[in-house]
Amino acid sequence: MDVVSNVVYPVAGLLGLYAFVSLASLVWEGIDRKLVARMQRRIGPPILQPVYDFLKLASKETIIPNTANYMFRAAPVLSLATAIALLAYTPMGFTPILASKGDVIVFIYLLTLISFFKMLGSISSGNPYAKIGAAREVALMVSREPAMMLAIFTIMWRIGKLGVDKPFSMGTFYQHNIWEIGTPMSFVGALILLYVFAVWLASEIEAGFFNIPEAEEEIAEGTLVEYSGRYLALLKLTKAIKAFIAASLVVAIFFPWGISGYFGLTGLSANIADLLFHTLKVFAVLFVVQSVFRAVTGRLKITQAVDFLWKNVFLASLIGSLLIAMEVIM
């Protein structure tokens, strides 16, 4: 019994989530491409195009450059594995499968580890374009994460003050949320942090301003330049899943409301209903941050992006966090 509830259910849940999220995230990519095409008065590909792309890439011959070392082949697998592991800690409309006290650090760690593995894989190809892409990726990563971390820790700390059973866990968002604090100051702070998280999400999925490490036209796909066949398929899938996960975080923090309560659902059906509703919200967030943002803006230079993230976003994060923390500190 103990084994069943501690091992079998979580594993089954994780596998189910993985199957669902891979499909949903690829479908979202199709929708995204369609929407951007419509915004530019094109018809665009069919909705399921990313799925076809994935299958086609997976069936193609994989070419390994002769300057590559073992990490070139290991990195796509490792980054997808990390993304799958991360699903167990991601809030998806309900408390994450492996939620425990302090798991926000695991969440942030695994999310950065995906980028780290991707970067390691791309420098392992030995291609200078890939190296430039990796260097940009690191610069961007180092600049974007502090703003997010400051914001998320503040929010979790503030929510913890409202009384939750596992402080600093990704499950706390479903017990209390940031809007419940209710004072005008915290409301303004939350809006500022929403802005911070939107920019963070855009830079995490490298949309619009932040399409820098992969910059197709400029450095020939950067980090992905040498990848082909199966490995490219894995990396594309990882990227899609990561976009879903990162957007899930934003949704969980700012729009955590579920619908199962309104229909009186319980147990598994409630989880499924919440998951579907959560997916809708993720799509909505990604529509604003990814589709619109990438359709209406171009790419920044890497120095501009770093400047923007530190001088604008981090500052906003600081102000928002202080506003939210204010009435507790004083």
Residues that bind other proteins (CB under 8 A): 67-71, 106, 109, 120, 123-124, 126-128, 131, 134, 138
- State which H helix or E strand residue 125 sits in: none
- CA dihedral (58, 61, 65, 134) in degrees, to 10, reads -20
Compute CA distances 280 → 26, 47, 247, 277, 303, whole Å. Answer: 14, 16, 11, 5, 35
Nearer to other proteins, 32 or 103 (CB): 103
**In angstroms, what is the minimal distance from the CB of 71 to other proteins?**
5
Nearer to other proteins, 97 or 247 (CB): 97
What is the Cα–Cα distance from 205 to 197, expressed in whole angstroms? 12
**In angstroms, what is the minimal distance from the CB of 244 to other proteins?**
23
Nearer to other proteins, 70 or 262 (CB): 70
Nearer to other proteins, 29 or 221 (CB): 221
**In angstroms, what is the minimal distance from the CB of 157 to other proteins?**
13
Question: Rounded to a whole number, what is the distance in angstroms from the first to the last CA of the chain?
Answer: 49
**In angstroms, what is the minimal distance from the CB of 81 to other proteins?**
12
Nearer to other proteins, 122 or 271 (CB): 122
Compute CA distances 162 → 151, 249, 285, 320, 327, whole Å. Answer: 17, 20, 27, 18, 13
Nearer to other proteins, 39 or 149 (CB): 149
**In angstroms, what is the minimal distance from the CB of 258 to other proteins?**
30
Nearer to other proteins, 46 or 128 (CB): 128
**In angstroms, what is the minimal distance from the CB of 147 to other proteins?**
16
**In angstroms, what is the minimal distance from the CB of 309 to other proteins?**
17
Concatenated DSSP letters for 173-239? GGTS-GGGG--HHHHHHHHHHHHHHHHHHHHHTT-GGG--SS-HHHHTTGGGTT--HHHHHHHHHHH
What is the Cα–Cα distance from 8 to 178, expressed in whole angstroms? 34
Nearer to other proteins, 109 or 277 (CB): 109
What is the Cα–Cα distance from 139 to 137, expressed in whole angstroms? 5
**In angstroms, what is the minimal distance from the CB of 89 to other proteins?**
12
Compute CA distances 171 → 97, 103, 166, 263, whole Å. Answer: 9, 9, 8, 22
